[in-house]
Amino acid sequence: MHISDGVLDIKIIAGGFTAAAGLTALALKKVKSDDIPRLAVMGAFFFVSSLIHFKVGITSIHLTFIGLMGIILGIPSILAILTGLFFQAVMFQHGGISTLGVNTVIFGLPALLVYGAFLPLAKRWKGRPFCLSLAGGILAGLTILTAAGLILVIIRFSGDEFTGIAFVFSAAHGILALVEGVITFFILRRLLKIKPEMLYAYKAGTLESSG
């Protein structure tokens, strides 16, 4: 799901860094000292998950769990995503340095949207862990589709030569959306049972232990 170096127009690259800087500044304002352990764990989880690839037709997809990151970390998820993307680009050439800003927006913006959607659901369904886990799984799947859609739009504005490939690439992420949605459902079911304080909704006071 990363956009590599050499694909995007310079104006798109500059806009990506500007938007990523704004998101990062917002995340830094929201992060607290007790968020650091969760940020470290989820940042490592995001980094390692990118190494798990699946072949789909002429392309391949890899796990991201950006929806789960948004649910667990809230707005500070941007920091974990930015850090993970940087090390993925440097160590494994997933994405690129010039596209770091754009990729941060592609991953980070959907994560924030999921966080915003999950928070009121956590308040409404705090005593219904199955419903809340199911909603989280569905939102996580939609996060992947949103990110894939952003890739299509961004590449389309950079020129026509990569549009066909981007469309095939994005379509393949329908499978990834299903996979991540199911896995996220089971992870949330477990967390709500044994450690609900891992979720940002718990910190925000809209969620309580399900026992």
Task: Tell me what pLDDT residue 5 has.
Answer: 78
In the CATH hierarchy, which top-level class contains the domain 10-203? mainly alpha
Burial per residue of 26-59, b for 16 or more beta-carbon CB atoms within 10 angstroms, e otherwise? ebeebbeeebeebbeebbebbbebbeeeeebeee
Which pLDDT belongs to residue 103? 93
pLDDT value of position 52: 74
Q: What residue segments make up the domains of the chain, in order of their start?
A: 10-203
Count of Cβ atoms closer than 10 Å to residue 211 Cβ: 9
Contacts 24+ apart (CB under 8 A), 165-171: 168/57, 168/58, 168/59, 169/59
- pTM of the complete model: 0.86
Walk along the chain (211 residues) and give the pLDDT tens digit of each residue: 677 777 788 888 999 999 999 999 999 999 988 888 889 999 998 888 877 766 655 556 778 899 999 999 999 999 999 999 999 888 877 778 999 999 999 999 999 999 999 999 988 887 889 999 999 999 999 999 999 888 888 877 766 555 555 566 666 678 889 989 999 999 999 999 888 888 887 776 677 655 4
* pLDDT score for 111: 95
Tell me the Ramachandran region of residue 207: left when phi exceeds 0, alpha when psi lies from -120 to 50, beta otherwise: beta
